[in-house]
Amino acid sequence: MISQRKDDHVRLAVEQQHGHVGRNQFDEVSFVHHALAGIDRPDVSLATTFAGIAWQVPLYINAMTGGSTKTGEINRDLAIAAQETGVPIASGSMSAYFKDPSCADTFRVIREKNPDGFVLANINATASVEKAQRAVDLLQANALQIHINTAQETVMPEGDRSFSAWVPQIERIAAAVDVPVIVKEVGFGLSRESVLMLANLGVQVADLGGRGGTDFARIENGRRALGDYAFLEGWGQSTAACLLDAQGAGLPVLASGGVRNPLDVARALALGASGVGVSGGFLRTLMDDGVPALIAQISTWLDQLTALMTMLGARTPAELTHCDLLIHGSLRDFCTDRGIETGQYARRSGGFNTLTRMTGSTR
């Protein structure tokens, strides 16, 4: 049953990508253009560090799949793309492996095809500490993701209906495993309150996993005979909103959910993300056009992110957080209601781009 579900998820996620990849709240974030802010491309480094983790690039392939023959092939191809481009890669949920260890190869292939890369194992929040460590060991993983997905489980016909055990279990896992623990949402977003709780539970990183891309309420609803949970489609906070909400909540954050292009990557980094994850968009490229196309897409994104940073005057991903940003529309309304002052984002370069250049000083 699990392997059928994994195949369904891939099919329905790609179908969603084939629909209109529309606007989302990243469109309500724009950089103030400073015409003299540009620097020299060789001065730009994409390297990022957070929670003791060092990545050469701030872009990663986020959790998707494994557990069936077909999804094992997808993991193989994603891992080849990760190896070729140097981006970190996360496994899909490894529950299928705990239920049936004979599918181990469909996950292990991620490490086999990507022996030196940064690999993240992925489990749910009910996994025992022993299973969490087994997941890490199977992949020789560099970090562990725990996904939290109450909205998905609610719509999933065979989903969990009890969530109260997640909090203590996350704390136990975070205390026990020997790699950094990242808790991630799957496209409904982590609120500020959730991030504060995760910090208290001893988790090292929050992956905000917001709305705006793959919608798992829609996917699971597509697996229900009656499709009767249509009203939950679009549930949750966008990734841009989550980034604004989580500022100063005490954890380094990763941004994923609805990242469509290199400008969205730059926007997310400028809103404070230490790294930016993509799932559905990369899956679509792989399924439609194959591994060479995915490798080309990721390489182009990294190239164009470097170009944007050169234009914006950011030598590192962290320096993008000094760029002036305008927050518009419904995202601005969200900020108002959540007590987030948007004006500070519009003026935060402190005149760096003009004045410090004139005086020759650096940031």
* Residue 257 engages ligand FNR in binding (rule: CB under 6 A): yes
* Residue 62 engages ligand FNR in binding (rule: CB under 6 A): yes
Residue nearer to ligand FNR on the CB measure, 61 or 201: 61
On the CB side of 145, CA atoms within 13 Å amount to 31
Residue nearer to ligand FNR on the CB measure, 273 or 283: 283
* Residue 156 engages ligand FNR in binding (rule: CB under 6 A): no
User: H helices within 126-233, ranges in order?
Assistant: 129-139, 150-155, 166-176, 192-200, 216-222
* Residue 186 engages ligand FNR in binding (rule: CB under 6 A): yes
Helix (H) / strand (E) element for 241: namely helix 239-245
- 5, 13, 29, 238: residue in contact with ligand FNR (rule CB under 6 A): 13
- 24, 204, 214, 349: residue in contact with ligand FNR (rule CB under 6 A): 214
Residue nearer to ligand FNR on the CB measure, 44 or 64: 64
User: H helices within 272-313, ranges in order?
Assistant: 280-289, 291-312
Of 327, 330, 276, 362, which is closest to residue 31 (Cα–Cα)?
327
Residue nearer to ligand FNR on the CB measure, 37 or 276: 276
* Residue 72 engages ligand FNR in binding (rule: CB under 6 A): no
* In the complex, least distance from residue 64 CB atom to ligand FNR, rounded to whole angstroms: 4
The angle that helices 291-312 and 262-270 make with each other, rounded to 10 degrees, is 50
Tokens matching residue 215: 């919608």
- 213, 262, 272, 317: residue in contact with ligand FNR (rule CB under 6 A): 213
**Distance between CA atoms of residues 339 and 158, nearest Å:** 38
Tell me how many degrees the CA angle 217-220-222 measures, rounded to the nearest 5: 105
* In the complex, least distance from residue 317 CB atom to ligand FNR, rounded to whole angstroms: 18
* In the complex, least distance from residue 204 CB atom to ligand FNR, rounded to whole angstroms: 16
Tokens matching residue 37: 């802010």
**Distance between CA atoms of residues 228 and 218, nearest Å:** 10
The region that residue 78 occupies, defined by phi over 0 for left and psi between -120 and 50 for alpha, beta otherwise, is alpha
Residue nearer to ligand FNR on the CB measure, 214 or 353: 214
Of 167, 237, 176, which is closest to residue 198 (Cα–Cα)?
167
Tokens matching residue 303: 């190239």
Residue nearer to ligand FNR on the CB measure, 125 or 295: 125
* Residue 237 engages ligand FNR in binding (rule: CB under 6 A): no
* Residue 58 engages ligand FNR in binding (rule: CB under 6 A): no
- With CB atoms as reference, the residue minimizing the distance to ligand FNR is 213
* Residue 285 engages ligand FNR in binding (rule: CB under 6 A): no
| Residues 210, 241 contacting (CB under 8 angstroms) | yes
Residues in the interface with ligand FNR (CB under 6 A) total 27
* Residue 198 engages ligand FNR in binding (rule: CB under 6 A): no
The residues that touch ligand FNR, with contacts defined as CB under 6 A, are 9-10, 13, 62-65, 92-93, 122, 145, 147, 184, 186-187, 209, 213-214, 256-259, 278-281, 283
